[in-house]
Amino acid sequence: MTMFKITKSQWDILKIKLTRKYNSLSEADLEYKDGEEEQLISRLALRLNRTREYVLFTLSKQLEDLDNGRL
């Protein structure tokens, strides 16, 4: 398993970007608490019908450039 960490402030921005990119995601899909990154990744992979690796790649790319408004 890859060590993947998201802070509360990062998640607040990342959540907005994800809802713009994947408008089918619900609040329940995007529920996140500190330390529950693996549950979030698994839930998003299932909901988006994508692999865990795809979700990790997408989240990592978005985290690299949080201040940019691009999706």
Burial of 58 (0-12, 13-18, 19+ CB in 10 A): buried
**1-24 confidence digits (pLDDT tens):** 557 899 999 999 999 999 999 999
User: How many angstroms separate the CA atoms of 66 and 1, rounded?
Assistant: 24
- The predicted pLDDT at position 29 comes to 95
Looking at per-residue confidence, does 3 or 33 come out higher? Answer: 33
Q: What is the pTM of this model?
A: 0.85
Collapse the DSSP code of 16 into the 3-class scheme (helix H, G, I; strand E, B; otherwise coil) and give the result.
Answer: helix
pLDDT in tens, 40-65: 999 999 999 999 999 999 999 888 88
**Does residue 40 contact residue 32 with C-beta atoms inside 8 Å?**
yes
> With 70 as the cut, is the pLDDT of residue 71 above it?
no
8 A C-beta contact, residue 45 and residue 54: yes
Sign of CA dihedral 68, 53, 47, 44: negative
